[in-house]
Amino acid sequence: MRIVFIGDIVGKPGRDMIKEHLKKIKEDRGIDFVIANGENASHGFGLSAKNADELLSYGVDCITGGNHIWDKKDIIPLLDSLPIVRPLNYPKGTPGKGVKVFEIKNKKIAVINLMGHFTMPFVDNVFLRAKEEIRKIKEEGIENIFIDFHAEATSEKRAMFLLFKNEVSVICGTHTHIGTDDLMIDGGTFYVSDVGLSGCRDGIIGMDEKAPIKRFLTGLPASFDISKRCKKILQLIIVELKNGKCKDGYKLKIYDDRDNIDKLKAMVE
């Protein structure tokens, strides 16, 4: 089972990179399933119903979320019917589900979305909720477990990895939009602290630099926006799973203004 995971998609530039490259990646690399974090896919804040359908039409099979999952109100009634997973540790009764199970080549994979605590909205204890959910999934006989951990603090992400290595197949961090180079496979679990954004790479976290620089210089509020013209990047992880264990994993960075593709291989511990 070969899986692609695309880091935080930021607005139209990120969607355009997926439209341009995902089909070829799937064909060339024998990809069976595509997961993408889409909580910033609609102009940088949230995911609209229209843009969810757009990403699914490009070959994304499952969309994960984060703290901006509620920003576009038209997606909320569709969270159950579409293959969208919102953070598991929102209080019980919140719309949508924090885990969904998919079948690929007669094998099942559970996709879990988690959200951290540092600088994030109020949610239930992410470590306890994850522990409870993973136990339930394993009791159902599902071996392949993928986690998108949407968190600011690398310490929270690293703690999640050490808590559940040997127990889950993949833990990919999202939210900071800045890719890290700590890819590893340990105990059959793939880990990276943050995949990095897909979208404009020449601004600040995918946004035009004017507003954040104004905030830093003056402390005054300013509205974030996405540049209409920018240098774009697509950042994704490819993992190969067998019987619930990750056998191989690496990262690809694809640029819109270069012919080359950067590849970073996971270190095996």
117 is known as an active-site residue = no
CB of 137 closer than 8 Å to CB of 145:
yes
DSSP state of 46: S
Q: Is 142 helix (H, G, I), strand (E, B) or coil?
A: coil
- Rounded to 10 degrees, the C-alpha dihedral 211/214/219/220 comes to -60
**Run of H or E residues at 103:** strand 99-104
Nearest to 146 by CA among 207, 187, 189, 204: 189
From residue 124, how far is each of 91, 92, 94, 217 by CA, in Å? 6, 9, 12, 35
Q: Is 262 helix (H, G, I), strand (E, B) or coil?
A: strand
- C-alpha span between 196 and 264 (Å, rounded): 13
Q: Is 122 helix (H, G, I), strand (E, B) or coil?
A: coil
From residue 39, how far is each of 46, 86, 102 by CA, in Å? 5, 9, 20
- C-alpha span between 133 and 87 (Å, rounded): 12
Task: Count Cα atoms within 13 angstroms, Cβ side, for 76.
Answer: 7
Q: Which of 21, 43, 68, 150 is catalytic?
A: 68
Active-site annotation, residues = 68
